[in-house]
Structure 1
Amino acid sequence: MMIEFDGDVFRWAARADSSWFFTSVPPELSDDIREIPRPYRGFGSVRVRARIGGSEWTTSIFPSSDGTYVLPLKKSVREAESLVDGGPVTVRLDVLDA
C-alpha cells in the first residue's frame, strides 16, 4: 500500500528540550493503515519506506494518542529537505507490513 499526504512538521511536545520531530498521517489514511491485516509489532508500530523530496528511508510509524500515526523525521532528512518545526512537508509512504 502506498499513500501520499501533506502535513506539518512538529516537535515532540512531551519534553521542551526534545530533538524528536514528526509529522502526522491524516486520520482517514491512518484508519486505512490500521485496517491492513498484519502481525502485531511493538507499540503498534508499522514498518514503512518513507520519501520526502529526494530523501528515502525505512522506518516505522507509531500510533499517537489522537488515533493517527506519526512518522519520525530524522535529523539528516530534515536537514537535506530543509524541514523546520511548524513547516509543511509532503510525504510518500509505502507500507511494508502488509
Structure 2
Amino acid sequence: MTFSFEAEVIYWRGPSPFFYAPLPAAEAEEVRRLSRLVTYGWGMIPVEVTIKGVVFTTAMFAKDGTYYLPLKAAVRKKTDVTAGDTIAVEMILQPAQR
C-alpha cells in the first residue's frame, strides 16, 4: 500500500530525542486498519519512504492517535529538513519479515 502526504516535522525530546513526521489523520487511520498485516511486533510498521528524492527504510510506531515516521539524521542532512518544515512524503508499507 502506497501513501502520499505532507507532514510537519517535529522534534520530540522524549527519552530518546529524535525528529519525526506524524502522519495526518486519514493516513494514520488507514495504516491502523492495515497494521495487523504488516507489523513485526510491538506495533512497529516497516515502511519504505521517499523524501525529496531520498529513499530509505524505517519503522513507524503509534503514539497520540497517529503514527510517527522517524527521520534518520542522514536523511535529514541530505534533504536539509528540520523541525517545523513541511515535507512531502511518499511511503510504502512493507511486509513484516518474520
Which category describes the TM-score, using the shorter chain as reference length?
0.7 to 0.9
Contact 2:21 2:69 in 1 (8 A): yes
What is the TM-score normalised by the length of structure 1?
0.87
Task: Kindly state the Cα deviation for residue 39 of structure 1 after the two structures are TM-superposed.
Answer: 5.7
Distance 2:51 2:69 in 1: 11
Cα drift, residue 74 of structure 1: 0.5
1:29 has 2:27 as partner: yes
Mapped partners of 1:84, 1:53: distance in 2 = 13
The answer to which structure has the higher helix fraction is 2
Gaps of 5+ in 1: none
Deviations along 1:11-61, one digit per CA (max 9) or x if unpaired, are: 11325x83x100111111111111114165332011110000111011111
The root-mean-square deviation of aligned C-alpha atoms, in Å, is 1.8
TM-score, normalization: structure 2?
0.87
Select the structure that is richer in strand: 2
- What residue ranges of structure 2 are gaps of 5+ in the alignment? none
User: Counterpart of 2:2 in structure 1: which amino acid?
Assistant: M
Structure 1 residues 89, 38: CA separation in 2 closer, same or farther (over 3 Å shift)?
A: same
- Structure 2: how far apart are the matches of 1:39 and 1:91? 19
How far apart, CA to CA, are the structure 1 residues paired with 2:82 and 2:56?
A: 19
CA contact (8 A) 2:38 2:93 kept: no
Q: How many residues align?
A: 95
With over 3 angstroms needed to count, the CA separation of the structure-2 counterparts of 1:85 and 1:39, relative to structure 1, is closer
